[in-house]
Amino acid sequence: MMTRKLRMGMVGGGTGSFIGDVHRKAAAIDGMIELVCGAFSSTEEKSIASGKALHLKESRCYKTFEEMILKEKELPEDIRMDFVAIVTPNHMHFPPAKMALEHGFHVICDKPVTLTLEEATTLQSIIKESGKLFALTHNYTGNAMVKQAKAMIAAGELGKIRKIQAQYLQGWLSTTIETTGQKQAAWRTDPSKSGIGGALGDIGIHAENLISYVTGLNVAEVAADLGVFGKGRVLDDDGNMLIRMENGAKGSISISQIALGEENNLAIKVYGEKGSLEWYQENPNELITRWLNEPKKIYSPNGNGLHPEALEVSRIPSGHPEGYLEAFATIYKNFAKHILSVNAGEVVENPDYPRIEEGVRGMKFIYAAVESNDNNSNWTKI
């Protein structure tokens, strides 16, 4: 039973941050979490100012994440933060995650999990040794219709999966806005901050994660053809990949951040022996299914025929749209429920949120795709 809200500390996400604001809103939606402290910027003055703007106590607006973790650790248990949310660029995921875990705090982190695969596997060991919980915000898996798709496939309703198609298309990097002072573009196109994948690491792993989550199958091999269209860029901003799944199914993933006119076109289609399904992030409240000997059926949140997994995260009556923030909130809610269970001495076998295993697999996917591209799109095992 929940007796109080869980207390969250945040690293990154200061004034002007898009993703920081998203995390704060998502964490608050279900009334289980409150923000109590933070180190919101690598600039000390901006960090303090950001905390004050969020109406935090000045004593809990910290200059650095190191200061936050050490000082919060010294506070009484009934005051200190319960977990840390990391919403920084990729190169600053590992250091605060490592320190927070080693000082006894749970962690929830934006994707990709780390800058490098080596950091990801090291973090996996640290999590195991610490005994603390770690969540990764692959937020699209929190959508009700994604959970419906997963439940239908797990129940065998589509039969054996044969073919999978996924795409994640954006157009916001169609011009080299990273040269104009646009901070989001600047760090995402900088390998020292983004890692070895550009669009691949930013949106490609969302597509890979969605495939694995919905189908329950992992990508076994990839043949990748990545492109760099922005003048002066060194990281991919476009790509097409053939994939082979561990059960023998075939598929493809298309990604782009230079697809002019596209906004946030994430989609997945799964074809089985008995039926197929498709879901589009830009129309997230519909799951379209087609069947061998039955009419097409469209599912919606809180509608008829939903599996319990989908009903559980359908917050409002049918016809009222739920989307990006609610899906994000589902990750936070399930993470919070797991923390509360741990605090109560209960064991949770399969918590429903992305964890370090998905993070490591995502990094392996990035590395395999880059290796494949560098070797003339040869098939590369993950």
Domain-embedded: residue 17: yes
Q: Return d(Cα 85, Cα 66) in angstroms, integer.
A: 14
173 and 88 within one domain: no
In a domain, 348, yes or no: no
Beta strands in the chain (DSSP E): 6-11, 33-39, 83-86, 106-109, 134-136, 161-169, 219-227, 238-245, 250-256, 265-272, 275-280, 287-291, 297-299, 380-381
What pLDDT, in 10s, does the model give residues 281-307?
Answer: 999 999 999 999 999 999 999 888 999
Residue-wise pLDDT tens digits, 2-32: 689 999 999 999 988 899 999 999 999 999 9
Find out whether 99 and 65 touch, Cβ atoms under 8 Å.
Answer: yes
Same domain as 156, residue 71:
no
For residue 244, with 0-12 CB atoms within 10 Å meaning exposed, 13-18 middle and 19 or more buried, which class applies? middle
In a domain, 343, yes or no: no
What CATH number did the domain enclosing 231 receive? 3.30.360.10
Residue where a domain terminates, one of 132, 150, 178? 132
- Does residue 29 sit within a domain? yes
**Residue 303: its pLDDT value, please?**
83
Rounded CA separation 101/166 (Å): 34
**Nearest Cα residue to 359 out of 89, 92, 135, 195:** 135
Q: Given 132, 159, 177, which residue is the final one in a domain? A: 132
pLDDT given at position 319: 87
Alpha-carbon gap, residue 70 to 81, rounded angstroms: 11
**Among 248, 247, 292, residue whose Cα is nearest residue 273:** 292
Same domain, 30 and 85: yes
261: three-class secondary structure by DSSP:
coil
Q: What is the pLDDT of residues 94-120, one digit of tens each?
A: 999 999 999 999 999 999 999 999 999
Give yes or no: residues 75 and 156 share one domain. no
Could you report the per-residue pLDDT of 296-335, keeping only the tens digit for each?
999 999 888 999 999 999 998 888 989 999 999 999 999 9
Phi and psi (nearest 5°) for 346? -95, 155
CA angle, corner 237, sides to 325 and 242, nearest 5? 90
Backbone dihedral region for residue 176 (phi beyond 0: left; psi -120 to 50: alpha; all else: beta): beta
User: What's the CA gap between 286 and 300, in Å, rounded?
Assistant: 5
Structural domain includes residue 370: yes
In a domain? residue 225: yes
E strand map for 83-159: 83-86, 106-109, 134-136
- 37 and 66 in contact (C-beta within 8 Å)? no
With 0-12 CB in 10 A as exposed, 13-18 as middle and 19+ as buried, what is 298? exposed
Domain identity same for 26 and 98: yes
Give the number of other Cβ atoms within 10 Å of residue 320's Cβ: 11
pLDDT digits 0-9 by tens, 188-239: 999 999 999 999 999 999 999 999 999 999 999 999 999 999 999 999 999 9
Whether residue 245 sits in one domain with residue 114:
no
- The per-residue pLDDT for 3 is 81
Q: Are residues 86 and 178 in the same domain?
A: no
Predicted local confidence at residue 16, as pLDDT? 85
Domain boundary among the residues 132, 163, 192 is at: 132
Per the structure, the complete domain to which residue 15 belongs is given by: 6-132
Confidence band, pLDDT 50/70/90 cuts, at residue 368: very high
pLDDT at 132: 98
Residue with tokens 């990006």: 324
Dihedral sign from CA coordinates of 59, 65, 70, 72: positive
Enumerate the β-bridge partners of residue 33.
Answer: 6
Q: Which of 58, 82, 77 is nearest to 9 (CA)?
A: 82
Same domain, yes or no: 90 and 195: no
Percentage of the chain beyond pLDDT 90 is: 95
Same domain, residue pair 127 and 261: no
Parallel/antiparallel/unpaired status of strands 265-272 and 161-169? antiparallel
Same domain, yes or no, for 81 and 171?
A: no
SS3 call for 31 = coil
> Are 126 and 164 part of one and the same domain?
no
Report the CATH number at residue 29.
3.40.50.720
Taking only the tens place, the pLDDT of each residue in 43-95 is 999 999 999 999 999 999 999 999 999 999 999 999 999 999 999 999 999 99
Q: Any residues with CB less than 8 A from the CB of 248 and at least 6 apart, and which?
A: none
Model confidence at 253, pLDDT cuts 50, 70, 90, reads very high
Residue 2: per-residue pLDDT: 64
Question: Is residue 163 located within the same domain as residue 303?
Answer: yes
State CA 210 to chain mean position distance: 10
**Quick check: is 20 in a domain?**
yes
Cis peptide before 89 (omega within 30 of 0): no
What is the number of structural domains in the chain?
2
Residue 1 confidence (pLDDT) = 55
Cα dist from 277 to 158, 186, 218, whole Å: 8, 37, 18
Cα Rg of the chain, angstroms: 21
What pLDDT shows up at residue 329?
97
Check: CB of residue 174 under 8 Å from CB of residue 227. no
- Tokens for 87, please give them: 């919403």
